[in-house]
A and B are shown apart, each in its own frame.
Chain A
């Protein structure tokens, strides 16, 4: 029975990859939307948004597994900060974006992290700190080391990228995808070790989630 179920799950995984919700956080004009748009545009198979780039989806292939990203852009203006927690519900990953040429945006990213920490248990959500606009290295206000040190202290993934030059953009999203899949596998393994009965539920839960999309 357990075997039958797992093959079923593999089948559905092949037809319909699991959906992961990723929220883009960061202050206004750090280039959140540009990053997402650049990332999605690089793939010719995905349907391009005709009018808006606030909600985007993309199927990613990581090795043999595939997953579907649902990218939720959030309003970055300071005045909307307090209401933006509503976007977090059900998120699997968050991309904390700052502008390497703006110290202020780096501090705001830290603020966002605080919000995430109050909403999620550690390990429930994959967070990446992303320094955007490496093309503006002449005006750099946040050093690579500074960003990396902060990310490491908080156990976040870290990268620097440039949406304008299309540098390291898909790499950043892929890193998040890999981490998500790895954590999912670990979770499944753990559950399997404890009780195979629970694994059945876990599998179908995941399916409910992906088919709802």
Chain B
């Protein structure tokens, strides 16, 4: 069975070759010795890169350079680039290991994936929509072939599709995430500015059913924000979706703790909007566009991940359109807050700055509590001292009173005038007693 299978090393070699050809100069350094001609080539590459970088500043369109130039110019710094290629290598190895368990089908899948990546290499100059379409077609074709030809059961197909997505998107990421041919970056900046301008929005205005007064809840809010921010650091669309799902789960928990009942969509969407406003996640639009274009489409329209992703899209659309009415404010108030003339939180009685972070706020509250405790302690101390004094006074008073009484009625102990007579002693008051009856004889 495994004879037809060339085995790991063969596949790996093939894989490395493909890798080398797609990465041009970068990875060839390690694989082959650096000849002078290669060095020369690299130098010219460097030159042209500099030129295109300068060009880029002046021309709006980035299509001026050749595709290699774009690729080169896009790599931000060498260290980031190296890190990325290490990750790419790791993912490739994992992918091959994974496919080995599927024998012939795995080999077929690998071949198809390689061909796809090669064609994508030549399609870099096409619009991002066309590249997205190619990817989606590829997903569908592979899944279909697996089922009809490979007779792979559906749940396995799903697993394999996840791995394929991971593999190809780790490689394509840097070319198709926030590409210069689109206005994704402009949109990113626009939504970022918009969220910053809305910094004054309170949970009350959005009717958010989450009370951050509860430490447990505020902890969950922080975690939700961390998750949504983390989305930007992932390269695979599915990993990005997982971040959104994690964030949503924290939101549900926060609502559950506050309201003590399972959250409905009526509760969830406003809270997600609040989290997005508070977190201002980096490159929000780029991430949404990237997921929409390159995730397996069935994942977005159905499934739990899809549900949360749709909610995030709704939240962003809402923030873009948000007006006075949607916050239950008058137009004048809304305009004043937007222009920064006043802030709705200024009316708050809290003595500390409203922008202070949660920890600082908590600290102020604790200080407040401590001073109150201190006051009470002092009161208790003075009360205790008073009580002590009262006790001393009382004893003194009693002593004095007793003394007074003793003085007034001095206790005189008189000696006993006569000892009590003993019954059986002789002659004791015998004289006072009548004489004993004497028997008399009556003549009768």
Chain A interface residues (CB < 8 Å from chain B) = 5, 8, 12, 15-16, 19, 21, 24, 28-29, 32-33, 37, 49-55, 70, 72-77, 79-80, 82-84, 86-87, 89-90, 200-201, 204, 207-213
Query: Closest Cβ of chain B: how far from A13's Cβ, in Å?
Result: 10
Indicate if the CB atoms of A16 and B154 lie closer than 8 Å: yes
Indicate if the CB atoms of B321 and A211 lie closer than 8 Å: no
Distance of A52 Cα from B144 Cα, bound (Å): 35
Choose the segment among B79-87, B182-190, B311-319 that binds chain A (4+ C-beta atoms closer than 8 Å): B311-319
The contact of B263 among A29, A53, A72, A89, by CB within 8 Å, is A53
Distance of A86 Cα from B249 Cα, bound (Å): 21
Distance of A201 Cα from B140 Cα, bound (Å): 11
Given A33-B266, A83-B317, A89-B310, check contact A204 B256 (CB 8 Å): no
Indicate if the CB atoms of B314 and A52 lie closer than 8 Å: no
Indicate if the CB atoms of B303 and A37 lie closer than 8 Å: no
Residues of A within 8 Å of B252, CB to CB, are 51-52, 54
Beyond the given pairs A52-B264, A54-B263, A87-B310, 14 more chain A to chain B contacts, judged by CB atoms under 8 angstroms and listed by A's residue number, are: A12-B153, A12-B154, A29-B266, A77-B207, A77-B266, A79-B325, A82-B317, A90-B300, A209-B298, A209-B302, A211-B155, A212-B299, A212-B302, A213-B302
Indicate if the CB atoms of B266 and A28 lie closer than 8 Å: yes
Q: Mark B248-290, 1 if CB is under 8 A from A, else 0.
A: 0100110110000011111011100000000000000000000
Q: Does residue B107 face the partner (Cβ distance < 8 Å to A)? A: no
Indicate if the CB atoms of B302 and A200 lie closer than 8 Å: no
Q: Does residue B350 face the partner (Cβ distance < 8 Å to A)? A: no
Distance of A37 Cα from B262 Cα, bound (Å): 10
Q: Does residue B147 face the partner (Cβ distance < 8 Å to A)? A: yes
Sample (15) of A-B pairs whose CB atoms are under 8 Å apart: A28-B266, A50-B262, A51-B253, A52-B255, A52-B264, A54-B268, A54-B307, A70-B303, A80-B318, A83-B321, A86-B310, A207-B147, A208-B140, A209-B302, A212-B161
Given A16-B155, A208-B144, check contact A90 B314 (CB 8 Å): no
Chain A residue with Cβ nearest B261: A53
Indicate if the CB atoms of A80 and B144 lie closer than 8 Å: no
Residues of A within 8 Å of B307, CB to CB, are 54-55, 72
Distance of A55 Cα from B266 Cα, bound (Å): 12
Tell me the total A-B contact number using a CB cutoff of 8 A. 124
Indicate if the CB atoms of A212 and B303 lie closer than 8 Å: yes
Indicate if the CB atoms of B158 and A52 lie closer than 8 Å: no
Indicate if the CB atoms of B265 and A75 lie closer than 8 Å: yes
Distance of A31 Cα from B154 Cα, bound (Å): 36
Distance of A109 Cα from B148 Cα, bound (Å): 43
Residues of A within 8 Å of B263, CB to CB, are 51-54
Given A33-B264, A77-B266, A211-B158, check contact A51 B256 (CB 8 Å): yes
Count B interface residues, CB 8 Å: 44
Distance of A75 Cα from B312 Cα, bound (Å): 13
Indicate if the CB atoms of B302 and A51 lie closer than 8 Å: no
Indicate if the CB atoms of A212 and B158 lie closer than 8 Å: yes
Given A204-B148, A207-B147, A210-B154, check contact A55 B314 (CB 8 Å): no
Indicate if the CB atoms of B303 and A213 lie closer than 8 Å: yes
Residues of A within 8 Å of B255, CB to CB, are 51-52
Given A52-B252, A208-B140, check contact A82 B296 (CB 8 Å): no
Residues of B within 8 Å of A73, CB to CB, are 264-266
Distance of A49 Cα from B207 Cα, bound (Å): 23
Residues of B within 8 Å of A84, CB to CB, are 314
Q: Report B326-340 residues with CB < 8 Å from chain A CB.
A: 326
Distance of A90 Cα from B321 Cα, bound (Å): 24
Most buried by A among B143, B157, B314: B314
Q: Does residue B304 face the partner (Cβ distance < 8 Å to A)? A: yes
Top 7 A-B residue pairs of the complex, sorted by shortest distance between their CB atoms? A90-B301, A211-B154, A212-B298, A33-B264, A73-B265, A52-B252, A75-B269
Distance of A37 Cα from B263 Cα, bound (Å): 11
Indicate if the CB atoms of A75 and B266 lie closer than 8 Å: yes
The contact of A89 among B144, B153, B301, by CB within 8 Å, is B301
Indicate if the CB atoms of B264 and A54 lie closer than 8 Å: yes
Query: Closest Cβ of chain B: how far from A18's Cβ, in Å?
Result: 11
Given A51-B263, A54-B263, check contact A211 B269 (CB 8 Å): no
Query: Closest Cβ of chain A: how far from B433's Cβ, in Å?
Result: 107
Indicate if the CB atoms of B266 and A86 lie closer than 8 Å: no
Query: Closest Cβ of chain B: how far from A2's Cβ, in Å?
Result: 12
Indicate if the CB atoms of A83 and B318 lie closer than 8 Å: yes
Residues of A within 8 Å of B161, CB to CB, are 212
Residues of A within 8 Å of B143, CB to CB, are 208, 211
Given A54-B307, A83-B317, A212-B303, check contact A49 B262 (CB 8 Å): yes
Chain B residue with Cβ nearest A72: B307
Distance of A184 Cα from B307 Cα, bound (Å): 24
Q: Mark B123-159, 1 if CB is under 8 A from A, else 0.
A: 0000000000000000010011001100101110110
Indicate if the CB atoms of A75 and B268 lie closer than 8 Å: yes
Chain A residue with Cβ nearest B269: A75
Distance of A77 Cα from B208 Cα, bound (Å): 12
